[in-house]
Structure formats: structure tokens, C-alpha cells
Amino acid sequence: MRARVSWTLVLAAFLTLPPFQRDRVEEMGFGEIFRIERMRVDPTLTQALRSRWDGEANAFAFPWGHMIPSLEDVSRITGLSVYGKAVSGYTYPCYHDIAERLLDLPVERRSSLVPRIALQESLGLYEAGKKAGESEDEYLERLARVSRRELASEPGPQADLDLRRFLVLFLGRLLFATRGDAVHCHFLPLLADLGEVGGYASGAAFLAHQFDCLSASDRQTSTSGFYPFLQVWAYLHLPALGRGELTRPGLVPIARRWESRRDSRHLVDQLERLQEAIDSYPYLNVVWQSYLGEGDEGQPWLAQARPYFGRSVWLHALNLVLPLNLFLTQRSLGLRQSVVEFPVWDRFRRPGRSFRGLHDTTDWWERARE
């Protein structure tokens, strides 16, 4: 399923929730995501950025030096929480029993995947395929109109079941999306106690997931995860590329301000021109500190997040434990740093990664303790 269609599907599921459930999603720290306008996917920009990713340093290696998306970028662009408990815990080779207990939905034996159709129908979304010639707004309208299942209208066990199903769809098809149609349920054990969900540093886990997606082969053109983050990051730090359009200045989080600029050229031509633009990008036009003029108004999540800005830390997302090496980008911290010359893009293609299965029950709190 295409990334923007997944976004519309998850948004429709959110809108079908009764008001008290939407309030619970807000309290968990996910509400700002649903205020962001559905942005066009820019696969050319994503692929150009992926080709510059240094998987060993977890940083972009541009001609002028390393640049790294940071926790401040996540907090200001998406509104996700970057403080709290690490998103860590157990992963299992099979989620059949857990899904049956917490979701009351079928999961095949020896699998960690929930069928997407069964999951969305449990939330009242039937006939959810996007029709030919249907616009995104028409698609969203139709999904809301055909919702045929009445969700629990007051707190209780059934309401908790509905909310867990929604969160699995949201996490597995939007925030931590992977390729394929089924929905993974690696985060399901963390949803057993819904009162604890808001205490996790979901934004830090999201950044780890972004780093992992960027390390995929640059032959992969589809976008995994919440794609507006990287697009807006590039609009802010590399404005001379001209890939974004500031249409709603002043809104927060910052992703609400931007729209992807249309480009009618063939994707191959777009990519070649964009790679050349990065190779010849004027060093003085690189914006190292994008938020110097930004206030905190309307962004209460920034107060608790600020102590984590500018720190080199470990990012946890269950089996992903990746370093945030901000020491490589001193200029983003307002410090002096020499320009490090890198060779221009050499059109070298990294080999694809094989799927890394989770074949054993693993306690990532214990394994990543050091």
C-alpha cells in the first residue's frame, strides 16, 4: 500500500474514534501527527537523501560534511515526544497468543503480522481500497461514510480493545511502517497497559526507525515510515534545493507549514538533476541551525524535550539500538567546525539488505543495558 494512501486510511480510522478515544490518543502524545496536512510524497528527494546516508556514522555524508536529523528536528517537525522511557522491551518470534489476547484478531502461527484488512474492518473501515480516479479528499470522505461498525462509546474493556487495534494500525502502517501490506505488531506488548503508552519516548524510537530505513538499499524507491519528516528536514536545512513550498507559515508543528512542490519531469531526470544540485550546493546556503528564530508558543512538548536537544544519545526502538552521533555535526550546535570534503556522489549502489528476522524471544532492556 502506498505511503499516502496508508496515511489517509489511518486518518480515517482516527476520525471514526469517538471523542473520548481521540482525547486518549492526544494524551499519548500522538495528536499533533493528525493535525499535519497530508503531504505529497517526494520519492526523488527521499532517494537522493538515502544515497548520501553513511550507515556506519548514522549521518548524511554531503560534500560539505556530515548532517544528522536530531531529536530537536523530530520534536519541532512532528510534535512527537522525545523524552520519557526508552521504547524497549521484549520481542518474540511469534505474536499469535499476544495478538489473540490484546487484539482479539487472528495472527498466523510463527508470525508477527496482523492482516491489514481484518485490522481495519475491526475499526469499522470496510471497502477501504482506493478507487481509480479518486482524489485523497474523496477517498477520506468515502471511508468515513462507509464506516459501518459502531465503536465503544464509553470507557471500558471494549474501548481499550478498539484503541489497541487503532494504535497497532497507526504504529504499523504510518509511524513505523515497513514495506508490504500486512501490519507488524512488534510494539503490541508495550500497549498492554494503555496508561503507560504516553510515557515512552516515541519520537526517539521514530528517529531510530528513520535511520534504519535510510540504511536500506538506495535501489529501494518506496518510502517507509512517516515520510513528511525527512522531506521537511530537507526543506529547512537545504532550502536552495527548492523541493518544498511554505504554504502555511507560523503553524506548529513545523510539518504543518509545508507542501511538496510539484515536479512534472520524469523521475529519472528529477533524480539526476537533484544529485547534481546536491553536489554543487553552495556551502553558505546550508542552514545548520534551523530553529534560531523559533519560539515555543503552542508547543508544550518542547519544555520537557529541550534537555535532550544537542545530546549524543542512544536511540531505542525495541531491536533497533542506534547511536545519535551529534558530535559529527558541531555547526548544528552553534560550534566551530571545519568543512570536511567528501567526494561527489559516485553512483555507487549499495547491495540490498536481507530481512533481519527476530527468531528468539529477546529482552532488549537487558541486551542493550550497556
Residue 340: the pLDDT is: 53
Which phi and psi (to 5°) does residue 90 adopt?
-90, 145
DSSP label at residue 86: -
Residue 219: the pLDDT is: 55
Helix/strand/coil for 300: coil
Residue 47: the pLDDT is: 92
Model pTM? 0.90
Which phi and psi (to 5°) does residue 54 adopt?
-100, 105
Measured CA to CA in angstroms, residue 318 lies from 46, 93, 108, 190, 341 at distances of: 25, 13, 22, 10, 35
Per-residue pLDDT of the chain (370 residues; tens, 9 = 90+): 567 678 888 998 998 899 999 999 999 999 999 999 888 899 999 999 999 999 888 999 999 888 999 999 999 999 999 999 999 988 888 888 899 999 998 887 777 788 888 898 898 888 777 788 888 888 888 887 766 567 888 999 999 999 999 999 999 999 998 777 778 888 999 999 999 999 999 999 999 999 999 987 555 555 567 899 999 999 999 999 999 999 999 999 999 999 999 999 999 999 999 999 999 999 999 999 999 989 999 999 999 999 999 888 999 998 899 999 888 887 776 766 655 554 444 433 433 333 344 457 888 777 777 6
- Are 213 and 46 in contact by the 8 Å Cβ rule? The answer is no
Helix/strand/coil for 207: helix
User: Amino acid identity, residue 173?
Assistant: R
Beta strands in the chain (DSSP E): 53-54, 59-62, 65-67, 90-91, 113-114, 183-184, 244-246, 258-260, 314-317, 320-323, 362-363
CA angle (306, 314, 89) in 5-degree steps: 105
Helix/strand/coil for 163: helix
CA distance 316 to 276: 35
Residue 338: the pLDDT is: 59
Beta-strand pair 59-62/53-54: antiparallel
- Are 5 and 130 in contact by the 8 Å Cβ rule? The answer is yes
Which phi and psi (to 5°) does residue 151 adopt?
-80, 160
Q: Which three cell numbers stand for residue 309?
A: 536537544
Which phi and psi (to 5°) does residue 9 adopt?
-65, -45
Q: Which three cell numbers stand for residue 165?
A: 487495534
Residue 344: the pLDDT is: 47
Residue 364: the pLDDT is: 77
- Are 17 and 236 in contact by the 8 Å Cβ rule? The answer is no
Residue 351: the pLDDT is: 35
